[in-house]
Structures are given as structure tokens and as C-alpha cells.
Structure 1
Amino acid sequence: MNKKTFCYGMIAWMLVTAIPAATAQNSELIAPEVENARTNAYERQLEDYLRHFLVEEYEARAAQRWNRDYSSPAALVRSVSPNRRRWEEVLGPPELTKTGVLKRTPHPLGEVQAEWISLPLGMLEAEAVLAFPSGASKEQPAALIIVQHGIASTPETPFSSGNYHEYARALLDAGFAVLLPMNLRSVERRNNVERYARLAGTSLPGIELVRLQHLLDMVLEDPRVDATRLGMWGVSLGGMATMFWMPLEPRIKAGVVSAWYNERRNKMAVPDARYSSFSPREEHAFFNGWLTEFSDEDLVSLILPRPLMIQHGKKDNIAHWPQVVEAYEKAALHYKKLDIPEKIDLVLHEGGHEAIVDEGVQFLSKWLSDPGVKNNP
């Protein structure tokens, strides 16, 4: 045994033996049940204080932090620029640099002749599946949809059945090219990495946004892609990515959010038997400063005036669906005030945690086939 190992072992032994001794000594001064009750009361005070700040005080606080100008779409975008900067601080996207060329390898998915693409970014790699519809060419470039998988899935999953209903394949059949970024999968992995990210002043969604942006730099140069017609459609945690990234990536001209949109204050801070909670298992889903001013209906105003579809199933236990409707109506009010109510839509369906394919494809086809969308801020 070397000296370093011996020292660590002695320190560990001292801590292990000291804790019970301190506890025993402390019990002579205060009864354990009294101390426990006191500490429980303090915990409740802290929870009540923070929950009051996050929930009850939210609307008054947000009213002071947002100064929206609805006189025109351009005025709205300009008026929320301070909020956009603060949202960027929430995600903390790091500075990454391309350190190599884009690599492409065949990645067949059944009948789909896809590619696996990877781009070195220093110690990180940005990776995705890329597939083109038949007939895409320099003469007939296709619109591109970023198809983002959820926490329990992979870039290949949107080509499968289940709650994804092969919506990536449906987009290809509708004439879209699809880019399916690989994000970190599983609750345990995201919990682990998010801890390090917070210590580093960033976040996993912030890192994954920058990875996507570097991939877009390269993919949008492909002559088979119409770079002016870029959309995004994410399911579950992919819906989170769509909501989180559209405010910071103006190249995305239209979005579909499936199985994510919520009454965010309740979801994150008010446990309720009518919906599931991230706490305590999914600590990866809590981001510093998120609920200072960025509940879902307010975050949508950083996406305006771009078209947005929200999809939610009444049997989806991520939310109590009447609360989703209420939060949606608040988001839709931004579009109404700009006199563009047709650019936001809610697909409230009878199913669960899933993508609704036909409506999503139709929505993206409508807005990404219209040349007018190219001029949106």
C-alpha cells in the first residue's frame, strides 16, 4: 500500500468512526426526534418559500421581465431580445469548434438508405442520421426536418413503430430530408452528465444545441437541401429540445412539439396525482433559472412569429391535459396579438405519449412549402 492510498484510507476511517460518535454525543444535548422534527420543519419552510417564488409569484415577476411589442413581428422579435439573452444564459451553450471534416458512412434502416454522419468538435463528436427523399437533387432541393428522439430512444427510433409511429419515414415520404441527431439516452446517463455540466456553467441541452448547430452548418451546404426551409419535430425530451432550441436557432423556421408542452410551473414544482413529476429521479430536467421567466407559454414568445404546433394526448401522464390547454391558450394569445393566429395549433388527441403523424406532416408541409416562410425572422 502506498502512502497516498494509506492517507485516503485513514481519512475515510476517521469520518466513518466520527459520525456515529458525533451523533451519540449530540443525542445527549437534543433528543433525536426533536431534532428531526425541527429539521423537517425547516425543509418545509424552504420548499414553501421556493415553491411560492416559482409558482405564486411567477406571473407578477414575468410581467416585469417581458416587455413585448406586438406592433409587428419584427418589433416583437426586437422587444424580447433581452429575454432571449437571458434564456441563453439558462442553457449556457459552450463554445465548440470544428476540428475535422464531416464523415459520412452508409447507415441503412430497412428500405431507407440513410447515412451516419459525424463531425469532430475537439473532444466531442456531433453525430446524426441523415436521409434524403427520392428525387432530392441540386435542381430539386428538399426541405429539411430535424427529427429529435426522446430520452429512452435513439436516432433510429423515429423510423420505428410504437409511440413514434414511423414519423421520420412519413416525413421522407412527404418529400422532406430528415436529420436525426444523437443525443444522450437514459435518465441515469443524463443525470450523471448534467451534474458535471452545471459545475461547468453549461447544460446538456446547451451542449447538444451547439452540436446540432455545427452539424447544420455542414448539412445545409448540401445542394440537395433547401437551407431556407428548415423545420424541427421532437417527441418527449425531443419536444423539450424543440422548445429549448428554436429560441436560439433562427434557421429553424417551423416546429412541432409532441408530448412535452406543459403548465410548466405545476409540472416542475407542484407534485400532483394527476400527472407525473420529474422529482426526485430525473434531476437532469431541472435547469438553473428556468422558472424565473420562461414557463412554456412565455418561452413560445421567443419562437414567434414562426409557426408552432403543440401535440398532447389526454392519456399522457406527463401533464393534466386541461392545464396543457390553458397554457396553450396563453401561448396562442401572442400569435393573436400579432394577427397571425393560424401559425400556432394544438392537436389535443385521445392517445398517450406519442407523435401524431398526419397532422404534424401536414403542418410542416404547409409552412415549409410556402415561400413566405423564408422571410420570417
Structure 2
Amino acid sequence: MYITCLEKRLAVLTAAFLLITITHPVCAQDAKVLTEAEDEMRIDAYEQELEDYLTHYLVDEYDARAAMAWNRDYSSADALVRSVAPNRLRWEKEVIKPPHLQKTGPLLSKPYNLLGTDAEWLELPLGNIAARAVIAYPEGASKANPAPLVIALHGIGSGPETAFEDGKSYHAYAKALLDAGFAVMAPLNMRSIPRRNNIERLARLADVSLPGIELARLQHLLDVVLQDERIDADRVGAWGVSLGGMATLFWMPLEPRIKAGVVSAWFNHRINKMVVPDERYSSFAAGNEEHAFFSGWLTEFSDHDVVSLICPRPIQIQHGKKDNIAYWPQVVEEFERSKVHYERLELSNRIDLVLHEGSHEALVAEGVAFLKKWLDNDE
């Protein structure tokens, strides 16, 4: 537990307040003003009191709180989906908060040379904003031979083209998908920490979230793209790296058209990642990534709980032991809790952990094989 003796911490903080009060009694006849050092001591103590209070709620009370929030029925896959419907609604309305967008024009498409691959640049007007993506089709895709579609989701510092490039994190996994017979659509999402911080602050004021906006953009794109006769609308997958992995995990519960997913370099022991600093991994609690904090997230939605909103659809988790976004034994712990949802339905073959010796990256062969397995048949 993060706090093993909260009562002692509170006693120390109370003593600090009392020390200042006794030293400087406040009365009408003899009012005293605190020194700057004493004022800092008081407000430091108050900050620590609030941090301890919220950390205790988020960390120590999470399991008990989640146990009351979820009422899963494992009697069948359909029963599980129905039983988590209230949680799914809270995930949508209280955490992701997608806005209501409307199409305000036709999909615009133009040829796009994607590193030697013939592709199309798509733009769909949605009022004051637009959904944009690059899409490429495998050789031979047609009405008579429609291809499955994989949504390739990029992370911080990347763009739609990155998944096609042979870089250190992506290894051209989108190109490998094309070669394997998949169509690939890579949306343009917001890149860079400062830009995401800026937009997320404004989104909170509007009671939406940036992931929610980008989900709504993607859903409108899918409405149109899946009408293309070159694509099999019943065989859609998603594969995201880093923050694209976040998008995959966040959006699959709310987009049933995505039938299978791969999450690379994102899945985590979410409570520790967000709240508990530790030298064994990079904690969001110790950084400047405001964009990564969403209201209501840790009320009941640690990663293993979010997976239950995806189950029984297949999902593969990829994590490198040298990736400091997480301490890999904690990833294993969170995965084992996620796997329970599938085991209870006797569908454990639909969830997979690829734990490798690498770092912050996608494993191409394993991800392609997983998506081929689940999007090439009716299991």
C-alpha cells in the first residue's frame, strides 16, 4: 500500500498546525502575522494533507471501490457485455466524454505518396474541425475481394505516416499489415506534450476530453470509409503504439466496430503509473503531462477493469522489459487481472501478453499474426 500509517501522517500534520497556532495565538488584542517560513510550513502541511487524502482514496481504496462499482456476469459473453453496460456508460460520459460532432460535407480524398506506397489523404469536415487520415489498400483489394481494415494509431511526437516508417518504435508495422493483406488507415491525432496539454485544458472547460474528440473524429471517418467496397466492414482492428496504445484501449470499449486490438507500449498498472512515483518506472505523477489526467479515470477504470469493457473481443498487450513507462512485473500483474475476464468465459486464447526484452516499441510479427488470426476468421 502507498500509505501504511495514514493516522501517523495526519498526526504529524496536525502537530505542525498546532505548533504555529500556539506560537502565534490569534486574538483581536494581539494579532500576529506569520513569518514567510512559517506560512510556507503551514501551506506545505496542508498540501501534504490533501495529497495524502487523495492518494489514499485513489490507491488504497481503489479495489474496494471498484468491487462495488462492477457487477460482472460471466455466465456468457453476452451476459458480461450486458452486465458492464452501466460502467461503459460511465466510461463514456464521465471519463472519455466525446462531443457530439456532425458531418458537414462529403469526404475529400486525394492521392498521397506514402514512402513509395500509393495511398490517399482523407479529410472529412465536421463543422469547425475535420477528421483527417491517410489510408492505403493492399494489392488486389476490390469489391470481390474486400480487405480487413486496421486503424494504426500513432503516439506523441509521431504522425499518420510514422507507422509506415522503419523507426525504432514503429518498425513499419503498417507496411507489414499492408503486405499481409490489410488496408490501413492512420488518423492524424494531436502530437507533442505541450500541444496536448494546451488542448486538454480547454477540453476540460468544455466538459469533453481530447481522446473523446479524437474518438468522435475517428467514428465519423469509419462511417464513410467502411462503405468503400474495397474494405470488409465486419473485419476492423486497431493497433496503437504508446499514446496510440492509449487510444486503442480507451476507444475499443466505445467502438464495437473494432473487433480486435493490439496495444503496444501503453498498458500499465494504472494506479501506480498515475499516482505513485517510483524509480523503477516513469510516473505521470512526477511529470508535466497534464494531458494524461482525466476526470473520473481512477474511480473504477484501472487498465484491467477497462479490459472487461472490451471482452470478449480479442486483445494483445505488448510490453518491453526495458520500457520505463512501467515496471514490467507490475504489467504482468495487471495483465493477469485482465485475463480473468476471458478465463471466466473460457476464452483465454483471446487475450495475449507479449512480454519482450526490448523497449518502447511495437513487435511487428506478433501483432500482425494476432490480427490475422482474429480478423481472418469467425472465431
TM-score w.r.t. the length of structure 2 is 0.90
Match of 2:103 among 98, 111, 130: 98
Distance, in Å, in 2 between the alignment partners of 1:226 and 1:56 is 46
Q: What's the offset of the Cα at 1:278?
A: 2.1
Distance, in Å, in 2 between the alignment partners of 1:111 and 1:365 is 24
Distance, in Å, in 2 between the alignment partners of 1:86 and 1:136 is 39
What SS does the corresponding residue of 2:366 show, helix, strand or coil? helix
1:178 matched to 2:184:
yes
1:128 matched to 2:133:
yes
Q: RMSD across aligned C-alpha pairs, in angstroms? A: 0.9
1:41 matched to 2:42:
no
Distance, in Å, in 1 between the alignment partners of 2:166 and 2:50 is 45
**Amino acid paired to 1:231:** G
Residue by residue over 1:140-180, the C-alpha shift from the partner in whole angstroms, topping out at 9 and shown as x without a partner, is: 00000000000110000011112100000000000000010
Aligned to 2:87: 83
Identity, % of aligned positions: 66
Distance, in Å, in 2 between the alignment partners of 1:130 and 1:160 is 14
Match of 2:220 among 214, 220, 234: 214
**Superposition pairs of residues 107-186 of structure 1, within 5 angstroms:** 107-162=112-167, 163-186=169-192
Residue by residue over 1:80-104, the C-alpha shift from the partner in whole angstroms, topping out at 9 and shown as x without a partner, is: 0000000002111000000000000
Aligned to 1:20: none
**Amino acid paired to 2:119:** A
**Amino acid paired to 1:46:** L
Aligned to 1:56: 60
Q: What's the offset of the Cα at 1:234?
A: 0.2
1:287 matched to 2:291:
no
What SS does the corresponding residue of 2:238 show, helix, strand or coil? strand
Structure 2 segments unaligned to the other structure (5+ residues): 1-30
What SS does the corresponding residue of 1:120 show, helix, strand or coil? strand
Does the aligned pair in 1 maintain the 2:272–2:283 contact within 8 Å? Answer: no
How many equivalent pairs are there?
346
Distance, in Å, in 1 between the alignment partners of 2:378 and 2:67 is 35
Q: What's the offset of the Cα at 1:186?
A: 0.4
What SS does the corresponding residue of 1:233 show, helix, strand or coil? strand
Q: What's the offset of the Cα at 1:28?
A: 6.7
Residue by residue over 1:104-134, the C-alpha shift from the partner in whole angstroms, topping out at 9 and shown as x without a partner, is: 0111112210110000000001000000000
Aligned to 2:6: none
Distance, in Å, in 1 between the alignment partners of 2:119 and 2:48 is 53
Residue by residue over 1:183-207, the C-alpha shift from the partner in whole angstroms, topping out at 9 and shown as x without a partner, is: 0010000000000000000000000
Aligned to 1:66: 70
What SS does the corresponding residue of 2:144 show, helix, strand or coil? coil
**Superposition pairs of residues 268-287 of structure 1, within 5 angstroms:** 268-279=274-285, 280-287=287-294
Aligned to 2:194: 188
Q: What's the offset of the Cα at 1:356?
A: 0.2
Mean Cα deviation higher: 278-287 or 220-229: 278-287
TM-score w.r.t. the length of structure 1 is 0.91
